[in-house]
Amino acid sequence: MAAPTIERLWTVQEVSAFLGVPVGTLYQWRYRRTGPRAARVGRHLRYDPADLRAWLDQQAA
């Protein structure tokens, strides 16, 4: 049985470029709990691409 593939987590800068919003906006959304789900990995925020796509789909609905 093949091992499941796991996508690499995205940095704040990558999500910013993908969404076309400033990095500061992502931090504001996280503070307000309105943006895509992010996780702390050490001192850094990381985003799961699948969570980001699900959040985008929810925004479009």
Is residue 31 situated within a structural domain?
Answer: yes
d(CA 50, CA 9): 9
Is residue 16 situated within a structural domain?
Answer: yes
Is residue 2 situated within a structural domain?
Answer: no
Which tens digits make up the pLDDT trace of 14-58? 999 999 999 999 999 999 999 999 999 999 999 999 999 999 999
What percentage of the chain carries pLDDT values higher than 70?
Answer: 93
Whole-prediction pTM value? 0.85
Is residue 6 situated within a structural domain?
Answer: no
Is residue 48 situated within a structural domain?
Answer: yes
pLDDT of residue 12: 97
Is residue 52 situated within a structural domain?
Answer: yes
Q: Which domain holds residue 19?
A: 12-60
Residue 7 pLDDT class (50, 70, 90 cuts)? confident
Contacts of 22 (CB under 8 A, 6+ apart): 16
Q: How many domains does the chain have?
A: 1
SS3 of 34-53: CCCCCEEECCEEEECHHHHH
First to last CA, the chain: 37
User: Count H helices, E strands: the chain?
Assistant: 3, 2
